Every structure is written in C-alpha cells, then in structure tokens.
Structure 1
Amino acid sequence: MSSVLDGKVIDEKEFNSALARGFAVLEAFDSEHVEMTLSQVAARTGLSPATARRCLYTLSILGYVRQQGRLFTLGARVLTLSSSYMRSSQIDEFLLPELRLLVDTFGDAASVAVLDDNMVLYLAHTSRQSAVRPIAAIGVRYPAHATSLGKILLAYADSTVQNRFLATAPFKAMTDRTVTDQPTMLQELKDARRLGYSVAIDELDYGIASLAVPVFDGEGRAVAAINSSGYSGRLSAEDLIEDRLSLLLQSSRNISSKLSQYPVLVKTALTPAGR
C-alpha cells in the first residue's frame, strides 16, 4: 500500500514512521525555538504529547536532545550529522572557492542552495557583510517564493514541482515587497527561466538585495543555485544585473564543470530541482 507525503509517493510497508517522527522533532528546533517544552514540541510537530515524549526520550538517550527541567534543547551530537555530510559531500572544496571569489570581488555575501520542497536550503555561504543583519548560513531554510535562489530553482523545476508549489498560494508575506499571489509568481518564474536569472529586492527581509542563477549537473539539470547578495539601500536590481551577473554566471559554469567531472557530488550533496 502506498500514500503521498510532501508530494512523494511512499511505500507504507517500507516507510519507518518512528524514524520520521524523530527527525520531525529534531527539525522543530530552530533559532526562534531554541528551547521548548514537551507540549510545544508536540504542537510544532503535530504529534500527540505521548508520541512526542517518546521521541524526546529516545533522542535524549542518544545525545541528540538535552533536557533541563521541563525544557528541551538540541544536543551537541546533532553536529555529527552535518559534519559527516560536509565531509562526504566535499562542499568546501567544490563550492566555497567560487563563493569566496564573489565576495572578494563585490564584498557582501554569496551562497549556494538547493530546493527542499517549497523552501531553499543553504549548502554553502560566505559573507563580509556588516551593515545588515546576517540571515544566511549553512543548513538554514527559507521560503522559496521570497528568495532569488528559490525563484530560479522553481523556474527550472519540472511542471509537477511548479504546479505543486503554485497550488500553495497565496504565499506568506515576509515584507510588503514579497510576491504572494499565484499569477504574479507564475510570471516571475517564466521570466526567470527566459532570462536565466532571478532578482529579489526586500522580499525575504528589508535590506536584502539578491541575484541568483542556476547551477547545472552533467545532464543539464538545475541541481542548485548560486547567488550574490548585498544591502538593498545601495543595490538596485539593475545594479546587480549590470555589475554582478557576468561573474555570477562564470561561477555557476565553474561549479557545473566540476559537477560533470565528479557526478557523485550531485548524488551526495545536490538534489535536482523537481526530483
């Protein structure tokens, strides 16, 4: 028997629900929910209090969660999951040199991200920003509709992924500049696909201006996106395109070339848009 979860068809006989619930509990913790009670964890995950309690107990025994009184926090052992991933995927070797080149040239910040359902997940990031509040970091996820990275990845995603994403409209307004309606977003995705780049100004947060282009694997699939971002108070969309697009596209080509030489990197680090 099969069912659909987050747009994916799953074999219920093979799917480990307990493991899935455990990861849901781990992912419930973030910068705004550093400490939570049992009832808060249950509310954020949609689990029953009894199920959430068993998950928290198991995770605490394994060292992934710590308990202090009624409050739970992530344990340091969570870092072993990300560190193993970073070592096996060789992200530092393949992605950071291009990001550092962009930052050395323009200052500000640069990132590489992949599409994770309706979110973008940052795989690599480097920054020299000091004037604005830093919001990007490895492992951070943001709504795809409010970022240049998300829009360009959705623009190159297959129709099934696009339609599933558009069906979630209206989208959450992060600022008064965020595109929230389906028709406007659909047009932005068409424009991004036609132009080969996407720009977002003050859409995720005020003060953030970003330009992104896709990164392709050896088979021509857009498996990631790379961006250059800065302070919107001094950068317009025109400035980003005129000053940064050429080097950003070259960085994308350089990464794409490495991916064609080392296809295992796609399997371990990058998820094709639409897969």
Structure 2
Amino acid sequence: MIELGKNQDPAASKSTQKRSKTELEKPAEFVEALAKGLAIIESFDVASPEMTLSEISRKVGLSPAAARRSLITLKTLGYVGQTNKRFHLRPKIMTLGSAFYYSARIDEVLQPFLRDLVAKFGDASSVGTLDGKDVIYIAHSSVQRARRAAAVVGARYPAYATSLGRVLLAGLPDAELGAYFDDLVIEPLTSKTITDPITLRAEIDAVRATHYSTTVDQLDYGITALAVPIRAVDGRTIAALNTSGYSGIIDADYLISERLPQMRAVASCIAQTLTRYPALASVIGQ
C-alpha cells in the first residue's frame, strides 16, 4: 500500500481549500454526498490527525448533521475510526492512493527513473502534477531522513512554493496562469517564501524562458530544489521532475551546473516512455 500524503504543512491545506471559480462549477450529475465524504477525508492532516464532529463540520464547511452522515458512512466502510468523540483515518484509506499508484503503473514507469537519479546524485527526486493551486506528488524516491516537509506519494503543497509547482505553472497557457493569480492567497511558509504576486509572476516568467526552476527554502527550511518540465508530444507540460538536497550543503548554482543536463535528459526519456503508456500520460496530463 502507498502512503497517502496527509502530512503536508497546514498552510497547504488552506491553499487546497481556496479553489478557483472554474473548479467550483458543478455538472448536473454532480453527487454532493460523495463530494462531502471526500472533503471530510481530505480534512485530516498533520495539524488535525483526529477531530470531533464539530471540528470536522467547521473545517469542511458542512452542517453537523451532514458531516455526521458522511462520517457514519466512512466509518461503516472502514475508512474512518472513532475513539470516544474524536474521529481519525484508518489504514484502509491508504488503498485509495495505492489503487491509483498501481493502476497507473507508476512503480513500473516512473520509479526506475527516480531511483537512478537518486543513485547518481543522492538526495531526493520526485515527479509531480498540478492539481488546482497545488502540486501533488505522484512519484518519489529519496535517501533523506530529515524532519521537514515530506514529499511522499500523494503529498500536496502550494505550487508557488515548490520548484515542481513553478515549472507546472510556467507551462500553463496565459489565460490559465492569469486565472491562477486572480484569487491566489500566498501563505508565507518560511521567511524566504515569495509572497508578493508580482515577484512570483516574474519568477514564473523566468522559468518560461529558462525551462527550469530552482527554489531555496521556499517550502520549508533546508530544501534546495531544481525542477524541469515533462512534456507531451504536443509540447504541453504535463508533469515536472525535480531533484533536491539540503540547503547549506548544496545551492541552486550547483544544481544547475551539475544536475540540470541530466535532469533534462531524464525528463525527455520519461516523456518518450509515456508515449508507450497512453493511459498514464492521459491521467497525469489532465
């Protein structure tokens, strides 16, 4: 089973809850009850590993009665447990993440590339895609054991604070990038996080020109990262590949000079490999 990324920074949860107008449009067949249940599952994170009914209803924006019905359903299905008046996720929830991981053949297609990069450079390497205003990690390999923001499979963080996210944002059409900034709320995750939208937009424009992004202590202290785009046959950026290490041991200039050529080569190989797996390419490219 694959670990779901429920250990993200609380600020990432705030970012997740702030959806664009386009994302809030609902088709006629939209099932509210299912959406409420999924929202409750997503409400659990490192800051809220267990909650009372009132805390859940307040966090998700549901009435206590509606939240209770969803919790009873999730509890009956084995996804949620309860101790006294507090609810928590149960291990069965991990099967939801592993279902995607294995059905999309991520372990077979993407992980070998990441393991090779980690074997060559050490540190860590990930592949991520854009999900709303966040980047979500769909593959990861690491030799690191630090107590800091984790890039486990399923983890999601604000796109503006990660090298992966900035590469993905740079790959958006102008209209979509403009919509991203329209209702963006930037939380300072560290003292170095870029919080000025104009400065952030300039950074993304620079990524468009160079086709890579570097970040230093933007998401969490101690993380220096370099990311490059993974492109579909038609040139669209459908995912991003990164390599990261400890700030203070490596810097952005080192990553550019020592790892950028290899990262671009691997991203190209991943893109070519995805042509043999159209289902996976379609999933991550949506």
* TM-score w.r.t. length of structure 1: 0.93
Amino acid paired to 1:43: R
Deviations 1:179-238 (A, max 9, x none): 111111111111001100001101001110000001112222111101000001111111
Q: CA deviation at 1:6?
A: 5.0
Q: Percent identity?
A: 43
Uncovered stretches (5+) of structure 2, i.e. residues with no partner: 1-18
> Is 1:123 equivalent to 2:138 in the alignment?
yes
Who is 1:271 aligned against? 285
Runs of 4+ in 1 over 4 A off after TM superposition: none
**Partner of residue 64 from structure 2, selected from 42, 45, 49:** 49
**Partner of residue 219 from structure 1, selected from 224, 228, 234:** 234
Q: CA deviation at 1:11?
A: 4.6
Amino acid paired to 2:130: L
RMSD: 1.6
Q: CA deviation at 1:161?
A: 2.4
Change (3 A) 1:58 1:132: closer
Q: Contact 1:119/1:144 (CA < 8 Å) preserved in 2?
A: yes
Deviations 1:129-148 (A, max 9, x none): 14563611000000110000
Q: Contact 2:20/2:180 (CA < 8 Å) preserved in 1?
A: no
How many residues are aligned here? 268
**Partner of residue 159 from structure 1, selected from 168, 174, 177:** 174
**Partner of residue 261 from structure 1, selected from 253, 259, 276:** 276
Q: Contact 1:152/1:225 (CA < 8 Å) preserved in 2?
A: yes
**Partner of residue 244 from structure 1, selected from 259, 264, 267:** 259
1: distance between equivalents of 2:81 and 2:147?
A: 33
Q: Give 3-state SS (helix, strand or coil) of 1:190's partner.
A: helix
Who is 2:208 aligned against? 193
> Is 1:231 equivalent to 2:246 in the alignment?
yes
* TM-score w.r.t. length of structure 2: 0.89
Who is 1:70 aligned against? 85
When structure 1 is superposed on structure 2, of 153-162 and 116-125 the one drifting more is 153-162
Change (3 A) 1:131 1:86: closer
Change (3 A) 1:174 1:9: closer
1: distance between equivalents of 2:285 and 2:180?
A: 17
Q: CA deviation at 1:271?
A: 3.1
Change (3 A) 1:152 1:66: same
2: distance between equivalents of 1:31 and 1:159?
A: 35
